[in-house]
Amino acid sequence: MERRTLISAAFLLACAYLSATYTYPQMRAALPGWYDPVVTASEIRAAEWAYDNVPHQSHFAGDMFACEMLTAVAFQICSIGGAWELADNPNQRYMDNERAFLTDSATEAHDLLAKYNITYVFVSTRQEPNKNFYAYGWKQPLIEKFDTPGLFEKIYDNESTEIYVVK
């Protein structure tokens, strides 16, 4: 029995060594976007502005982290985040929200946001090192489309964070 215990202990130590030597460095390199702040100070200031200047419980669209923050800081309803999985067709809702931010087409984005009665769009360019994490698979949203007159109107622009009205 003692030999079996020694073999088991040696095996566990070998696994721990291999994990610490090979797996941990890879894991640590992949995680900063998850444990660094996922909203910027400028986004928090924009949410505070929204709290003061936008009717509470208005419908916003943003990425998951901005939406969670808007719900908590600005007392708004957001397209995703929180208990959005309890909404009708949550997977479709999430995919439509993501598509609205990643598409090149202002018309497609407008139609997808209108489908869910979104009134405001919250966007930011997180271009600081290790701060490019969006809930869109690490992809930067295509923000320029929101500058399309007749579909969107910019009502807030400060420090790379913008809020638009969906027309």
Give SS3 for 67.
helix
Residue written as token pair 């027309």: 167
At residue 77, the 3 state secondary structure works out as strand
- Are residues 40 and 9 part of one domain? no
Contact 45, 161 (CB under 8 A): yes
pLDDT digit string (tens) for the chain, length 167 residues: 587 888 888 888 887 777 777 777 777 777 665 556 678 889 999 999 999 999 999 999 998 888 888 999 999 998 887 666 667 788 898 899 999 999 999 999 999 999 999 999 999 887 654 555 666 766 778 889 999 999 999 999 998 899 999 99
Q: In this structure, are 19 and 77 located in the same domain?
A: no
Half-sphere exposure at residue 133, Cβ-oriented, CA atoms within 13 angstroms: 15
Domain count, the chain: 2
Q: Domain range for residue 10? A: 2-30
**Does 87 share its domain with 114?**
yes
* Full-model pTM: 0.76
* The pLDDT of residue 89: 83
77 plus 143 within the same structural domain: yes
Answer whether 40's CB lies under 8 Å from 124's CB: yes
